[in-house]
Structure 1
Amino acid sequence: MHLNKQNLIVILAAFSLLSSCVYHFDLDEVSEIPKLTVYSYPGSGDTMVVRLSYSLPVHDKGRKMYGLKGRDIRLEVNDRSVPLWWAEDSLPGVPAKSYYVVQSYETGDRVRLTASVEGVKAVSAFTIIPAPFPLNAVKIERKSSELNVLQLQINFTDYAKTENYYAVTVKERVKYWKEGTSEVHYGESSSAYMDWSDEPMLDASSGLDDIFMGNYAYYQNLYFWSDEKIQGKNYTLRLNMTYIPDYKTSIQDETFINRKQYKVYLYSLSEEFYRYLKSLNEQKNNELGNVELAPMRATYTNVENGFGLVGGCCLRQTEWMDSLKE
């Protein structure tokens, strides 16, 4: 297992807090002046990226402008100033028109980011780097009661003395080779949908939502939870997917053997990051709000005077794991 340089990408603009069926408001009074939006995820790799943009007023139909260059962008780690660099063009792991710094972090590091851009209020945000995901083992097994189900089992021991927040996502791809040869090729990877019906830790629906909403869904197949129910305990998280054994395909009279592979990404999150993801998920599952039976829910932000997220995150990943054979 090892830390990954890949930055965790979480994208969505802020939504309105108010529901039209509960409150009356004048759109001309809402967000007349754009606010600064900041996204940065310190600790998700050894390269920290900071992206700035303007929020759009509710009546503005224009395109959001990403990649703003500020007049004063400051990063402090444990009250020590750390210089940020500007990337006009894209670099490995760094998008074009963004700030970055190569910086390693330790558990408990305090990170503060302030930013000032002409025409909007200066913003600031604070987060703390969480401890790495406390993983013991990851394995894939056929579910004994349903042999057509493949179960991913993630065993970990929660940190006993702190409140902790975790997330997992799974990538899948196809490994294939021509029958009778040993030369292996790989298809593109994609995010895998996981069935969490055997996992009470991820059961987030309740009340009227169960009646109107149907199946609760995790946005972009990122499954997250807090340690509230398992404080300090050893626990095995169980996620299911359809079992697909090796299969053959034919291309231009050549036969290929295909095998599914999976890679597991495990995150420890700061409280700010967890609350942000939770708010996004609540919005995506808020069908009651869409039919004006409940208030619309706001996107959480820890950016003072602005929008977005500066959230601490530690990421670990497994190697690619083969699906089980028959």
Structure 2
Amino acid sequence: MMVKYISFMIILGVSLLFTSCVYHFDLDEAEGIPKLVVYSYPGSGDTTVVCFSRSLPVTGKGEIVSGLTGTDVRLEVNGTPVGLLWTDKALPGVPAKSYYTVQRYEEGDRIRLTASAEGLETVSSVTTIPAPFPLNSVHMERKPSDPGTLQFQINFTDKASTVNYYAVTVKERTKYWRNGDSRVYYDEEYTAYMDWNDEPLLKVSAGLDEILIGDYTYYEQLYIWSDEKIQGKNYTLRLNKTYISDYETSIQGEVYTNRKQYKVCLYSLSEEFYHYLKSMSEQVNNKLGESELAPVRPTYTNVENGFGLVGGCRMMQTEWMDGVKE
């Protein structure tokens, strides 16, 4: 199946950017001092974006403002400085009020980011670019033992010489045709919730939360795993969802044909990125913490003296695939 590298998806750019106000702190240590927050995901595409904001401690007032200007920032690749540009307006793949550079990376490149802003402590962060996702094939079929289930089978071969971290998410699109008209009338796209009961790599024990509350939920439907149990092996990851065949809908006397399509997005993550996403999932599942029956779990950060994430990532995705026919 044809696969291609693309710019990092908005789900990881925008959604993670707006989590910048979530962090763990100690009231005795924070003393109301704001910190520099940085998010950057080098390796996710040809363009590296760096977004800054100023944190708002619990003792402070006001709102989180993204796109902090007047920041002195330095990006280095294997010790060599890389020039960064600033944009006030949004560009393709680049949000407004951010720094960016067009830079391709190789596996193992070491990225160091340092930044300072007036009134805030200088921050620094280091990450490493992982190898591309080692995909062999993606296959969809109706589960033989349960025809009402559509199963995605993702075959890959893990690299034995390194510790590797991965993630997958599935996009779902519904397209509508007016009967008698070959043109697509309307389509909608969203991230699909997947069932991983057939996938041991994704089964996570949430401890007491799991006993008292129920199933584990992955943050933003990003299903993450490490190669701890499959290091160096060929493996097929299995994800399920309810099978929906093409169907017809009548709206105000017009008949429309509805068809499902799917796209599988695959990520190879740095260790830092993996731990960040893991901490976000733990927060989503910390229902006891929300009820003050357990400590609130901290958000992982690899930004020294600040908050946020600088995480290496490689991403690929399939083309849109039509659902399996009956």
Q: Please tell me whether the aligned partners of residues 52 and 98 of structure 1 are also in contact (alpha carbons under 8 angstroms).
A: yes
Give the match for residue 6 of structure 1: 8
Are 2:23 and 1:15 aligned? yes
Relative to structure 2, which stretch is displaced further, 154-163 or 2-11?
2-11
Give the match for residue 78 of structure 2: 78
> Structure 2: how far apart are the matches of 1:61 and 1:284?
25
SS at match of 2:188: coil
Give the match for residue 148 of structure 2: 148
Give the match for residue 45 of structure 1: 45
Give the match for residue 30 of structure 2: 30
> Structure 1: how far apart are the matches of 2:231 and 2:177?
46
Give the match for residue 113 of structure 1: 113
Q: Please tell me whether the aligned partners of residues 4 and 315 of structure 1 are also in contact (alpha carbons under 8 angstroms).
A: yes
Relative to structure 2, which stretch is displaced further, 255-264 or 185-194?
185-194
Are 2:158 and 1:158 aligned? yes
> Structure 2: how far apart are the matches of 1:149 and 1:109?
41
SS at match of 1:304: coil
Q: How does 1:1-326 map to 2 (within 5 A)?
A: 1-7=3-9, 8-9=12-13, 10-11=16-17, 12=19, 13-16=21-24, 27=27, 30-326=30-326
> Structure 1: how far apart are the matches of 2:71 and 2:323?
51
SS at match of 2:148: strand
Which aligned segments of 4 or more residues in structure 1 are displaced greater than 3 angstroms?
Answer: none
Change (3 A) 1:31 1:49: farther
Match for 2:33: what amino acid?
A: I
Change (3 A) 1:31 1:311: farther
Q: Please tell me whether the aligned partners of residues 206 and 285 of structure 2 are also in contact (alpha carbons under 8 angstroms).
A: no
Give the match for residue 21 of structure 1: none
Change (3 A) 1:144 1:63: same
Q: Tell me how far 1:139 sits from its aligned partner.
A: 1.0
Question: Over aligned residues, Cα RMSD in angstroms?
Answer: 1.6
> Structure 1: how far apart are the matches of 2:28 and 2:276?
27
SS at match of 1:189: strand
Match for 2:7: what amino acid?
A: K
CA-to-aligned-CA distance 1:197-254 (integer Å, 9 cap, x gap): 1111011114323212311101111110000000000111111101100100123433
Structure 1 unaligned blocks of 5 or more? 19-26
> Structure 2: how far apart are the matches of 1:214 and 1:223?
18
Percent identity of equivalent pairs? 65
Q: Tell me how far 1:175 sits from its aligned partner.
A: 2.1
> Structure 2: how far apart are the matches of 1:139 and 1:207?
33
> Structure 2: how far apart are the matches of 1:70 and 1:167?
35
Change (3 A) 1:139 1:186: farther
> Structure 2: how far apart are the matches of 1:185 and 1:303?
46
Structure 2 unaligned blocks of 5 or more? none
Match for 1:150: what amino acid?
A: L
SS at match of 2:53: strand
CA-to-aligned-CA distance 1:294-314 (integer Å, 9 cap, x gap): 322111100010000000000
CA-to-aligned-CA distance 1:156-208 (integer Å, 9 cap, x gap): 01111100000011111112323344323451211100011111101111432
SS at match of 1:278: helix
> Structure 2: how far apart are the matches of 1:185 and 1:53?
41
Give the match for residue 23 of structure 1: none
Q: Tell me how far 1:57 sits from its aligned partner.
A: 1.1
> Structure 2: how far apart are the matches of 1:306 and 1:162?
29
> Structure 2: how far apart are the matches of 1:223 and 1:321?
20
Change (3 A) 1:80 1:186: farther
Change (3 A) 1:238 1:50: same
> Structure 2: how far apart are the matches of 1:68 and 1:79?
25
- The number of aligned residues is 318
Q: Please tell me whether the aligned partners of residues 245 and 259 of structure 1 are also in contact (alpha carbons under 8 angstroms).
A: yes
> Structure 1: how far apart are the matches of 2:68 and 2:151?
44
